[in-house]
Structure 1
């Protein structure tokens, strides 16, 4: 794959229906959303409100989209959104959100209203894939004309509260498969040349270039540095092609790119990125890093509010 070739499509020509169908035929279920995610959400019903905010359907497959809320929702308090699994293959985002709910969330009762969506993209979770079944990246689809139902469903969920959120933390990973599979597939899908990139070794965050909040981003990085290592800048002073503006911090224009982290318009918003393929990190560390990132974000925002 590193040669820039991809087994589907013609170089230089964007995919049509036939190529997308060929790609879809290669995807198979590798783990269970019901067993690994829904069962843990169900166990939270004793402590939180659990709701189904939609049903995702691809062919015969149906996936309930689940959100977990503070049991007592107080309009006088600030609100926070935590999302995981926007890219279904990014495992620690899902399990880090669940770990936060199981271990930490109760400690914020009476301080902040919590809305947590542990797995935005269950089809991708089961197939360990970045895209949905239509070969669309949900994390470029958080806009009115977005092509991913996963994103549209979340937009509908938060729309009544848009403007009320103080915090939004969107939990992600950067993996070796980004270079071995997903970026070559993206280039092939769009009929563009594949340009190899460099996978950063460690945790980093992405802030909004229109509202960077560097002290907030740095507070997350500092807290996570006690759990796992922080990604250094490369020789150009960058991480994944973007300038490092503070240790472990880069910036993207959230709303312009249609990213999940821009869906609420929160004052304090961040995407997290862990590196589960590092020889210096375990899956448990990655999950904990995500949960710690959430608590650090909440603690900073509540102190600043």
Structure 2
């Protein structure tokens, strides 16, 4: 198979250098506004929450402030829970699900937990509907102390003081048709590797931490979400995206080893959500609602076990 068959940049079998990355970046265009669609929504939350800027990224002429939303009355006696969205900026319901949670449901946890919510970790990715950042780095493989991704490094620094105190972390994602049509081919080309077989699961699923699995926690989330949208079935080999299904709608990854956002703290309860917005059986609002249902179920289960 020629490289041209699955991605138009690079030479088959050879990882990208600076020239190829520059060619890739030159093809990226802004498709929506982080300020209009996200920052304005965050600004509306300032009456009920503490909103802080925890970083600022400059890419060319574009400046992206990074925002964290916290409980206004932070109480050291309460458990702390972390919600992150938009680590992959193109995964829309991760961002807007987090915002919807803050607007509609977060108040119900005010006297039960300290909330730290980061609705959009990767603003450039949000605007350009991209998985990577402008340096062709996947932030969700880069959560570590010496991270090469500015987005990941900023979130790492924000959460460091809470790393040992966090009870629960839910990271909101999507699996989309463009994972197969665009992002996996780009990854194979960037790394100079063959393009492996793909396949997109139709429905919601979760990724647990294989090194510290919490099966009851995952199943509590699945039970809540299936009232909102359908759960992805296993394929004929008992897999979802190439990983064994360990419980209905649940697969496992070693999250810290892979540098995933879900491994950024030492929380007992961690999960990564994956909704499927391209399904004919789901609407964008259902995807946002599924993320909100997942957040609420995750917090409720974690607090019940604390």
TM-score normalised to the size of structure 2?
0.98
- The answer as to whether partners of 2:217 and 2:301 remain within 8 angstroms in 1 is yes
Q: Partners in 1 of 2:115 and 2:251 — Cα distance?
A: 26
Deviation at 1:147, TM superposition (A): 1.2
1:170-223 CA-to-partner distances (Å, cap 9, x unmatched) read: 000000000000000000000000012110000000000011100000110110
In structure 1, the gaps of 5 or more residues are none
Structure 1 residue 289 corresponds to structure 2 residue 290: yes
Higher mean alpha-carbon deviation, 274-283 vs 55-64, is at: 55-64
> Is the partner of 1:44 in helix, strand or coil?
coil
Correspondences of 1:271-290 after superposition (within 5 Å): 271-290=272-291
Equivalent position of 2:57 in the other structure: 56
Q: What are the residue-to-residue correspondences of 1:1-305 with 2, within 5 Å?
A: 4-305=5-306
The runs of 4+ residues in structure 1 deviating greater than 3 Å are 1-4
State the distance in 2 between where 1:11 and 1:217 align.
Answer: 40
The CA deviation at 1:5 is: 2.3
Aligned to 1:168, the other structure's residue is in SS state: strand
Give the superposition deviation at 1:4.
Answer: 4.6
CA contact (8 A) 1:84 1:117 kept: yes
C-alpha contact (below 8 Å) 1:4/1:184 kept by paired residues: no
Once residues 5 and 228 of structure 1 are traced to their aligned partners in structure 2, the CA distance between those partners, rounded to angstroms, is: 32
CA contact (8 A) 2:273 2:291 kept: yes
Q: Hey, what's the Cα distance between the residues in 2 that align with 1:286 and 1:78?
A: 28
Number of equivalent positions: 305
Aligned partners of 1:146 and 1:209: how far apart in 2? 22
Once the two structures are TM-superposed, the CA of residue 254 in structure 1 deviates from its matched residue by 0.6
SS of match in other structure, 1:147: coil
Instruction: Note the C-alpha offset of 1:144.
Output: 1.7
Rounded Cα–Cα distance in structure 2 between residues aligned with 1:112 and 1:221: 22
Query: 2: distance between equivalents of 1:190 and 1:282?
Result: 34
Distance 2:37 2:25 in 1: 23
Displacement after TM superposition at 1:149 (Å): 0.5
Cα distance, 1:43 vs structure 2: 0.1
Shift of 1:264: 1.0
Helix, strand or coil at the partner of 1:151: helix
Shift of 1:145: 2.4
Kindly indicate whether the alpha-carbon contact (under 8 Å) linking 2:3 and 2:189 is maintained by their aligned counterparts in 1. no
1:203 and 1:273 in contact (8 A); partners too: yes
> For the residues of structure 1 that align with 2:145 and 2:265, how far apart are their CA atoms?
13
Unmatched 5+ stretches in structure 2? none
Q: Compute the displacement of 1:243 (Å).
A: 0.5
- Paired with 1:94 and 1:247, the residues of 2 have a C-alpha distance of 25
Please report how far the alpha carbon of residue 2 of structure 1 lies from its aligned counterpart in structure 2 after TM superposition. 11
Aligned partners of 1:5, 1:84: CA distance in 2, in Å?
29
